[in-house]
């Protein structure tokens, strides 16, 4: 009990001898649950305490969905330009350079092809870490090329959306991607190739207004925010209180905008199940 009967006042440990808690050792979910970071990762970044789905990027989704995390990335060196010479708090060109260095990503979406449960699958997955997953010309182009690869090789297509919407720095160039990707998805449908759309938190703006809601089957992770304008904007515009749970995945499922809500642990099995059912194949 010597520590309790301390004779010397103050903290006497030398600075170099102090033990700091490493950053990221614990994760606190929005409901206040504390989870060990290693346990969270082992649980696919889903809180075992309350089922909260932590935002993850394309690297983790590819690891979840592709067999042995083996895939070939398509068009990985496409990067955005600055045709409008846009400037807000900094030049768009400088912002692109900074975010590429910080995230080690080329843009807000990655496209890959590999095997999932033994069969080929094309996956386009958005990364929120890259300017809020905003949809610019490169995002639209990479999605379109991913769809082209699906059509050319007769491979099912999966889109994983995680976006704040259109990229304002590209103005009309960004808005054109809504039509561009929608036309490509129409071509995919004409080729009778399955398209599964997975909405994750958040899926908003032009993303929701185009490819995110055009799947043969539209699914979502639990608790995801999905909508066009955010709840605050809708509330301020309409001047009315919003229903409880407005724009959550559960609310959209209840009102017919989603087909299923699928926990992250079940994504690989369920996505391949839907593809097998659409193609009238034996269930894997």
Of residues 43, 49, 50, 37, the one with CA closest to residue 64: 43
- The residue written with tokens 């908003």 in the block is 204
Distance of CA 276 to the CA centre of its chain: 24
My answer on whether 28 and 62 are in the same domain is no
Q: Each residue's pLDDT tens digit in the chain (284 positions)?
A: 444 455 555 555 554 454 555 566 888 888 888 888 889 999 999 998 889 999 999 999 999 999 999 999 999 999 999 999 999 999 999 999 999 999 999 999 999 999 999 999 999 999 999 999 999 999 999 999 999 999 999 999 999 999 999 999 999 999 999 999 999 999 999 999 999 999 999 999 999 999 999 999 999 999 999 999 878 888 899 998 888 889 999 999 999 999 999 999 999 999 999 999 999 999 99
Which domain, by its residues, includes 247? 55-279
My answer on whether 26 and 78 are in the same domain is no
My answer on whether 38 and 107 are in the same domain is no
> Could you tell me which residues are beta bridge partners of residue 116?
119
Structural domain includes residue 1: no
Residue ranges in the chain assigned as alpha helix (H): 37-42, 58-65, 92-103, 137-153, 171-190, 231-238, 249-254, 267-278
Give the β-pairing of 71-74 and 34-36: unpaired
Total tally of structural domains belonging to the chain: 2
My answer on whether 219 and 195 are in the same domain is yes
The pTM for the full model equals 0.89
Burial of residue 64 (number of CB atoms within 10 Å: 0-12, 13-18, 19+): middle
My answer on whether 128 and 20 are in the same domain is no
My answer on whether 48 and 92 are in the same domain is no
CATH number for 205 = 3.90.226.10
Task: Please name the residues in contact with 242: beta carbons below 8 A apart, sequence gap of 6 or more.
Answer: 231, 234, 235
């Amino acid at each position: 009990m010597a520590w309790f009967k301390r004779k010397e006042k103050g903290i006497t440990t030398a600075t170099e001898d102090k033990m700091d808690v490493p950053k990221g050792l614990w994760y606190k979910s929005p409901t206040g649950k504390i989870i060990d970071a290693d346990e969270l990762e082992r649980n696919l970044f889903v809180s075992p305490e309350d089922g909260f789905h932590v935002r993850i990027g394309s690297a983790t989704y590819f690891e979840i969905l592709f067999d042995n995390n083996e895939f070939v990335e398509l068009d990985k060196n496409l990067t955005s330009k600055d045709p409008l010479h846009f400037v807000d708090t900094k030049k768009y060109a400088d912002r692109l350079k900074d975010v590429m260095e910080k995230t080690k990503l080329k843009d807000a979406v990655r496209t890959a092809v590999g095997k999932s449960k033994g069969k080929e699958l094309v996956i386009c997955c958005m990364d929120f870490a890259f300017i809020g997953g905003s949809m610019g010309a490169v995002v639209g182009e990479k999605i379109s090329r991913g769809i082209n690869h699906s059509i050319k090789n007769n491979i099912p297509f999966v889109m994983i959306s995680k976006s704040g919407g259109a990229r304002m720095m590209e103005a009309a160039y960004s808005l054109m991607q809504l039509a561009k990707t929608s036309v490509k998805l129409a071509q995919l449908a004409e080729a009778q190739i399955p398209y599964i759309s997975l909405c994750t938190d958040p899926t908003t703006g032009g993303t929701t207004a185009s490819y995110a809601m055009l799947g043969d089957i539209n699914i979502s992770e639990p608790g995801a925010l999905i909508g066009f304008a955010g709840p605050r904007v809708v509330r301020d515009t309409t001047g009315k209180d919003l229903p409880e749970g407005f724009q959550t995945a559960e609310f959209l499922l209840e009102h017919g905008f989603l087909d299923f809500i699928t926990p992250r642990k079940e994504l690989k099995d369920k996505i391949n199940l839907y593809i097998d059912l659409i193609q009238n194949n034996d269930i894997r």
